[in-house]
Amino acid sequence: MVSAAAKSIIEQMRANMGAPLMTLEEERTGWAEFASKEKILEGTLVSGVSLNEVACEWVEREDSDPQVLLLIHGGGFNSGSPRIHRRFASMMAKASGHRVLVPDYRLSPENPFPAGIDDIVAVYAALV
Average pLDDT, 10 consecutive residues per value, the chain (128 residues) = 88 84 91 92 97 98 96 92 96 97 97 97 97
Q: Output the pLDDT for position 99.
A: 98
Q: Output the pLDDT for position 15.
A: 86
Q: Output the pLDDT for position 54.
A: 98
Q: Output the pLDDT for position 50.
A: 98
Dihedral sign from CA coordinates of 15, 30, 48, 124: positive
Contact 22, 28 (CB under 8 A): no
CB-count exposure of residue 5 (10 Å: 0-12, 13-18, 19+) = exposed
> Taking the model in full, what pTM does it have?
0.83
Sort residue 116 into left (φ over 0), alpha (ψ -120 to 50) or beta: alpha
Segment (H or E) for 67: strand 65-70
Q: Output the pLDDT for position 74.
A: 87
